[in-house]
Amino acid sequence: MSNKLFSDKFILTPKLKPLIVNGSLYYNDKEGTHNLLRLKKEVINEFIQLNNKEVSPVYRMEFYRNSNQLLKRIEELGEEGKLPVLLFFYARF
């Protein structure tokens, strides 16, 4: 995948305020795993670009193995004027 997709020009940004939303991953029978993430209405409303049928949103997930690497990356993004979305996975029994 091209890095061009993740340039400043293409980064979606929230329109109003900080947003904290809880959700679930859904089970995909075909894949045999929980790998479907459906964005809640609050997220759709915050990222108005997602309502544009002419845009095909993609995502980039970066996972760092320690807090030093993560903090360094967050600092780099801040210097570029970008803010990451924090996504946590929890096990619910």
Taking only the tens place, the pLDDT of each residue in 30-65 is: 999 999 999 999 888 888 888 888 988 888 899 999
Q: How many domains does the chain have?
A: 1
CA angle at 73 for the pair 49 and 58, rounded to the nearest 5°: 30
pLDDT, residue 64, reads 93
| Nearest alpha carbon to residue 60 among 85, 90, 41, 34 | 85
Range of the domain at 7: 3-79
48 vs 43: CA distance, rounded Å: 9
Is residue 20 domain-resident?
yes
Is residue 58 domain-resident?
yes
Is residue 28 domain-resident?
yes
Interval 24-28 mean pLDDT: 91
Is residue 88 domain-resident?
no
DSSP class of residue 7 equals: S
Is residue 39 domain-resident?
yes
Is residue 93 domain-resident?
no
- State the maximum Cα–Cα separation within the chain, in Å, rounded to a whole number: 42
pLDDT, residue 43, reads 87
| Nearest alpha carbon to residue 55 among 64, 71, 44 | 44
